[in-house]
C-alpha cells in the first residue's frame, strides 16, 4: 500500500497546455521546462517547484516567457554570498581602483550580504530585500549617502549578473535609490581664513594646513606632495593613499591603475580623474610659507614635503590632527578637512577668478574624464588668478597678535 501511495503521489497531473506537472516526494508541485542542448546531444531541463499548483503555474509561465526572451535559462543559480564573492574578485577587482574596491568589500560584508541573506538565490531577490539593505546601511551609519552607496554597489553588481545571463533583470531597479540628504557645510569666511592662516603660521607644521586652504588641494595631494614637484608651480599629479591589504607593494589593481609604493600600505596614486592632474602656480604668500617650511624640515628618504616624525603622514592620522587643530582655533565648529576645498572656491569667487581657471585650480570632477594632462598653457593667467587669491587672504605683517586684537578685521 505504501508503494502504491508513493506512485499515486508522483503521478503526473496535466491541465491543458501545462506539460508534465506533478508532486515530488516532498509534496512540492513540480514542472519541467526543456532547455536548449549545449552540445546538441545532452538533454537539459529546468525544474520549477512551488508549494501549490496555482503558484507553480505562475512561476512556470514566467520561466517560459524568460526562455522565449533570452533563448536559454541558467540552471546553476548562485546564492547572494557566492555571487558577490565572484563579482568582487573576478569583476570589480579588475575594473575599479583599490581604494574603491576596499569600500565595496566593506559595504558588501557589513550590509549587502547580511541584508539580502547569504543563502538567498540570486534570482529570488525582491524589492523588500533591497529595502532591507537600505535600512541596514542607514541605521549603521546614519547617512543617506552611505545607504545610497550601498544601493549603487548592488545595482552595479546586478547589472553584471544581467549581462552574464544570471539574472533576467536588475532587482535594485525595483525600488528607488535612497535620496541624499541635504548637508550644511561649515565653511570658513574670508576673515576666518586670515585668522586661520595667522594661527597656522605660528603652529609647528601648520604650513600643511595652509597649503590645503590656499590651493583647494585634497588631503592625499597635500600629504603626498614631493619636494621635486615644488618649484615655480605645484605639481598635484599624485596623491598619497593607504590601501588596506596591499602592504609592501603587493597590490592587486586594474591594468591602467598608476601607483608607486611608499612603505607598508602607503602608496602614491594618480588622482581619480585626469581633471585632478593639475599644475598651479606657486605664488605669494604660499610660496614663502612653503620655502620656509622646506628650509626648516630635514629631508626624508621619500622626498616628501610633509612628514610626521620623519615618516610619511598616515591619511587617517592627518585628519585627526586637523580636527584637533581646528577645534583649538574655532571651538565647537565642524569644519571638515575636505571642506577647505569649498572655502577655497568661495575665496576664488570673491577674488574674481574666472570659473574656467577656478576649475583648473581646484581640479573639479566636472571636467570630462578624457581631458588631457594639464599643460602650462594658461600659466600666466593662472599666476594672476592665484596672486589675487593670495593677496586677499594674506595676514597682517605682525601676525597672530594683531589678528586677535582686531578680531580678524
State whether 66 and 85 are in the same domain: no
What is the spatial distance between Cα 312 and Cα 241, in angstroms, rounded to a whole number? 10
Rounded to a whole number of angstroms, the distance between the first and last alpha carbons of the chain is 101
Q: For the segment 47-71, what is each residue's pLDDT rounded down to a tens digit?
A: 888 889 999 899 888 888 888 887 7
Position 387 in a domain: yes
Residues 299 and 278 occupy one common structural domain: yes
Statement to judge: residues 163 and 28 lie in one domain: no
Are residues 304 and 333 part of one domain? yes
Residue 42 contacts residue 32 (beta carbons within 8 Å): no
Cis amide prior to 298 (ω within 30 degrees): no
Same domain, 233 and 121: no
Using CA atoms, how far apart are residues 6 and 11, in angstroms rounded to an integer?
Answer: 9
DSSP three-state, residue 269: strand
104 in any annotated domain: yes
Looking at the structure, do residues 253 and 296 belong to the same domain, yes or no?
yes
- Per-residue pLDDT tens over the stretch 240-249: 999 876 666 6
For residue 74, pLDDT beyond 70: no
With respect to residue 184, please indicate whether it lies within any of the assigned structural domains: no
Could you tell me which of 29, 35, 85 has the C-alpha nearest to residue 57? 29
Number of structural domains found in the chain: 3
Residue 199: CATH number of its domain: 1.10.443.10
* Interhelix angle 379-393/207-215, nearest 10 degrees: 120
pTM: 0.70
Can you give the residue range of the structural domain that contains 156?
Answer: 80-174
One domain, residues 143 and 197: no
Percent of the chain at pLDDT above 70? 83
Report the 10 Å Cβ neighbour count for 288.
13
Last residue of a domain, one of 39, 70, 101: 70
- Kindly report which listed range (6-20, 157-171, 278-292, 313-327) carries the lowest average pLDDT score: 6-20
233 with 87, same domain: the answer is no
228 and 336 fall within a common domain: yes
Amino acid at each position: 500500500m505504501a508503494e502504491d501511495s508513493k506512485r499515486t503521489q508522483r503521478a503526473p497531473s496535466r491541465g491543458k497546455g501545462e506539460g508534465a506537472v506533478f508532486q515530488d516526494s516532498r509534496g512540492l508541485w513540480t514542472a519541467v521546462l526543456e532547455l536548449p542542448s549545449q552540445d546538441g546531444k545532452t538533454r537539459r531541463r529546468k525544474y520549477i517547484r512551488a508549494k501549490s499548483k496555482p503558484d507553480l503555474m505562475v512561476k512556470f509561465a514566467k520561466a517560459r516567457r524568460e526562455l522565449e526572451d533570452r533563448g536559454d535559462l541558467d540552471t546553476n543559480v548562485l546564492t547572494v554570498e557566492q555571487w558577490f564573492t565572484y563579482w568582487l574578485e573576478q569583476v570589480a577587482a579588475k575594473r575599479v581602483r583599490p581604494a574603491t574596491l576596499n569600500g565595496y568589500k566593506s559595504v558588501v560584508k557589513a550590509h549587502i550580504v547580511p541584508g539580502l541573506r547569504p543563502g538567498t538565490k540570486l534570482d529570488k531577490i525582491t524589492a523588500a530585500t533591497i529595502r532591507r539593505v537600505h535600512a541596514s546601511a542607514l541605521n549603521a551609519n546614519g547617512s543617506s549617502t552611505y545607504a545610497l552607496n550601498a544601493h549603487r554597489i548592488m545595482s552595479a553588481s546586478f547589472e553584471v549578473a544581467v549581462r552574464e545571463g544570471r539574472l533576467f533583470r536588475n532587482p535594485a531597479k525595483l525600488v528607488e535609490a535612497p535620496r541624499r540628504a541635504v548637508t550644511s557645510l561649515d565653511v570658513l569666511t574670508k576673515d576666518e581664513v586670515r585668522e586661520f592662516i595667522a594661527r597656522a603660521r605660528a603652529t609647528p607644521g601648520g604650513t600643511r594646513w595652509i597649503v590645503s586652504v590656499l590651493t583647494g588641494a585634497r588631503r592625499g595631494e597635500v600629504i603626498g606632495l614631493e619636494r621635486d614637484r615644488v618649484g615655480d608651480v605645484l605639481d598635484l599629479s599624485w596623491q598619497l593613499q593607504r590601501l588596506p591589504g596591499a602592504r609592501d607593494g603587493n597590490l592587486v589593481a586594474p591594468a591602467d591603475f598608476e601607483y608607486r609604493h611608499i612603505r607598508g600600505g602607503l602608496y602614491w596614486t594618480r588622482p581619480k580623474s585626469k581633471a585632478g592632474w593639475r599644475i598651479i602656480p606657486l605664488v605669494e604668500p604660499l610660496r614663502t610659507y612653503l620655502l620656509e617650511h622646506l628650509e626648516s624640515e630635514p629631508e626624508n628618504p621619500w622626498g616628501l614635503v610633509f612628514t610626521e616624525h620623519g615618516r610619511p603622514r598616515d591619511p587617517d592620522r592627518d585628519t585627526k590632527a586637523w580636527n584637533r587643530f581646528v577645534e583649538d582655533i574655532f571651538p565647537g565648529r565642524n569644519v571638515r578637512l575636505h571642506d577647505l576645498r569649498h572655502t577655497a572656491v568661495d575665496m576664488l569667487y570673491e577674488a574674481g577668478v574666472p570659473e574656467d581657471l577656478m576649475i583648473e585650480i581646484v581640479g573639479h570632477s566636472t571636467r570630462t574624464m578624457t581631458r588631457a594632462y594639464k599643460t602650462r598653457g594658461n600659466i600666466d593667467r593662472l599666476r594672476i588668478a592665484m596672486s589675487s587669491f593670495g593677496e586677499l587672504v594674506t595676514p597682517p605683517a605682525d601676525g597672530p597678535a594683531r589678528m586677535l586684537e582686531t578680531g580678524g578685521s
